[in-house]
Structure 1
Amino acid sequence: MGTAKSWLLDDSPASRLQASLGRSYRMARMLMRNPLAVVGALILLTLLVTAAFAPWIAPYSPLGQDLGARLLPPSAAHWMGTDELGRDIFSRVVYGARITLMIVVLVAVIAAPLGLLIGAIAGYFGGWVDRLLMGLTDVFLSMPKLILALAFVAALGPGIENAIIAIAITSWPAYARIARAETLTFRNAEFIAATRLLGASHGRIIVRHVLPLCTSSMIVRVTLDMAGIILTAAGLGFLGLGAQPPLPEWGAMISRGRTFILDQWWVATMPGFAIIIVSLGFCFLGDGLRDVLDPKQGGKS
């Protein structure tokens, strides 16, 4: 064990693999020193396990109805009670983890690379390219994200696929701004000039050198934005524009449960707790990653 640790922490790594593993090991150690980051990581690990093993964790079908057991309070048979159609809320929350995870992953996969590329191009070329791309970015940033997402979903039509597209369209400008700011700090650096002198094209410089240098800040921002993505998706579901019944999406479950909030509080409260806990998990982990990946913050931790 000591030999492996010494190999990972070697100040003169013999290979790129050793350097990468050593950097990852140091980051993991710094992350473990942050209690809230550890809590966030555990929450997200629980979300991943719940989504992966939902059929084995959920005691009932998320769609099966039993009108004879409708609106039952939490008990040993139904840990979170039942809804107005007799469906087990715990089972629906468990299966809803899959929908939530799918939404945040797809939005991140679409929005983050798009914003990263636009911001890097704007920062690298500058001039009219920068003004054009940042002008478009400012148009999107000038409007509240949820309102803009509502407008896009209203145009595209209700549904989980359209909700994902709408949230992604409204999320990329923040990433573009970060990527542009990062690119401006090193676009005139000596290593960029040397690469250009070696005959590398603009596209190669952006893809091979600029984008990797912006990745750390992007990872932090994506992790912190996951909570906002979950809340936006839940808001769309609450308004009936996201996942459609009978899918067990947490926002839609809250919307259906608001009718019974005074007498059967558990119908809306349980999926609400799930949204709050998962959102906090992403916030805690994102804050810890910022301390680890941001050199300005890392020195303070």
Structure 2
Amino acid sequence: MSAAADPQGAGLRAWLRSPSPASTWQARAQRAYLGWVAFRANPIAMAGLLIVVALVLAAIFAPLLTGSRGLDPDLPNRLLPPSAEHWLGTDQLGRDIYDRLIWGSRVTLYIVGLVSIIVAPIGLAVGTLAGYAGGWVDTVLMRIVDIFLAFPRLILALAFVAALGPGLENAVLAIALTTWSPYARIARAEVLTIRKADYIVAAEAQGASTWRILRKHVVPLCLASVIVRLTLDMAGIILTAAGLGFLGLGAQPPLPEWGAMISTGRDFLYDQWWVPTAPGAAIFLVSLGFCLLGDGLRDVLDPRSGEA
């Protein structure tokens, strides 16, 4: 369709590409549009976006995409191979693996969403405060961060879950407690590069409070790096959650969690390979999708990535 045939679309594109935006809203809209154009030009990033969108849609429309919740045993149909009736076969209790994978996507998004809500604010708060305040505040906070960074994530998560007890909520809390520290490091590094900038000094000279400077000027500039790191870390969060589920410390049966599905199906790997392979492939595909999406977001949100 030509621009003459679609004057509204042409007008919107002209508004989004105007060299001199007339308002803050227009400038923000232009930045979002140009970022989307750059992101869309990256086929690998688009592949990651499609995988993540498919995961979200599967979780939302799970009741429409499945014939059951995959919880009730059906022993006469146990360990059936993939077929037209059971697309991915059945497990050792006769439950449809496809149904359990689709419903398990909700568990995966639940874990990823809760961990993200917890770790991003904590990491931002600790990192920005340490970088802006400096002195003994920076020293104390960064030594705490170093303690958390010194331990492998899964090992530390296992220690927290052992103390808190098995369960989905405790697994989420344990993963969050082991994941926030890199975000504090990133936020601190960003603050150290901007805390002596002219607009920060001007805000201080005008009597702006530390809280206002952090909220209005510092935190927004740290968000891009934190979002990129969070997207890239989602693969690690999924793998850690699957590891806890595999060991029986995460989501408890009969909840369809992908790591627990691999654990209960590993005894059938040689003869009924589809039982552990299907959830393993789902974990691999979703983790790959988040990695590709995060890589694309890094190219868009971090202008320095294209300078090399």
Is TM-score (shorter-chain normalized) higher than 0.5? yes
- Alignment counterpart, residue 163 of structure 1, candidates 159, 167, 171: 171
Structure 1 vs Structure 2: percent identity of aligned residues?
61
* Alpha-carbon distance, 1:21 to partner: 1.0
Give me the whole-angstrom Cα distance separating, in 2, the residues matched to 1:183 and 1:60: 50
**Is the aligned partner of 1:29 residue 2:55?**
no
* Alpha-carbon distance, 1:259 to partner: 1.0
| 2:129 equivalent in structure 1 | 121
| 1:62 equivalent in structure 2 | 70
The 8 Å contact of residues 245 and 251 in structure 2, kept in 1 or not, is answered as: yes
SS in 1 for 2:188: helix
**Is the aligned partner of 1:87 residue 2:77?**
no
| 1:263 equivalent in structure 2 | 271
Structure 2 segments unaligned to the other structure (5+ residues): 1-8
Give me the whole-angstrom Cα distance separating, in 2, the residues matched to 1:98 and 1:16: 37
* Alpha-carbon distance, 1:11 to partner: 1.6
User: Alpha-carbon deviations, 1:1-55, whole Å to 9, x = none?
Assistant: 2211110011211112111111100000000111110000000010010000000
Give me the whole-angstrom Cα distance separating, in 2, the residues matched to 1:8 and 1:232: 41
| 1:190 equivalent in structure 2 | 198
**Is the aligned partner of 1:45 residue 2:47?**
no
* Alpha-carbon distance, 1:62 to partner: 1.3
Give me the whole-angstrom Cα distance separating, in 2, the residues matched to 1:235 and 1:41: 25
Structure 2 counterparts to residues 91-240 of structure 1, below 5 A: 91-240=99-248
* Alpha-carbon distance, 1:61 to partner: 2.8
Give me the whole-angstrom Cα distance separating, in 2, the residues matched to 1:61 and 1:193: 58
- Alignment counterpart, residue 284 of structure 2, candidates 276, 281, 296: 276
Q: Which one-letter code corresponds to 2:129 in the other structure?
A: I
* Alpha-carbon distance, 1:107 to partner: 0.2
User: Alpha-carbon deviations, 1:80-102, whole Å to 9, x = none?
Assistant: 00001100000000000000001
Give me the whole-angstrom Cα distance separating, in 2, the residues matched to 1:298 and 1:108: 27
* Alpha-carbon distance, 1:299 to partner: 4.3
| 2:6 equivalent in structure 1 | none
The 8 Å contact of residues 69 and 103 in structure 2, kept in 1 or not, is answered as: no
SS in 1 for 2:91: coil
| 1:12 equivalent in structure 2 | 20
- Alignment counterpart, residue 74 of structure 1, candidates 51, 70, 82: 82
Q: TM-score, normalised by structure 1?
A: 0.98
Give me the whole-angstrom Cα distance separating, in 1, the residues matched to 2:144 and 2:192: 18
Structure 1 stretches of 4+ with a deviation exceeding 2 A read none
**What is the number of residues matched between the two proteins?**
300
Measured on the aligned residues, the alpha-carbon RMSD in Å equals 0.8
- Alignment counterpart, residue 303 of structure 2, candidates 286, 290, 295: 295
Structure 1 segments unaligned to the other structure (5+ residues): none
SS in 2 for 1:273: helix
User: Alpha-carbon deviations, 1:112-139, whole Å to 9, x = none?
Assistant: 1100110000000111001000000000
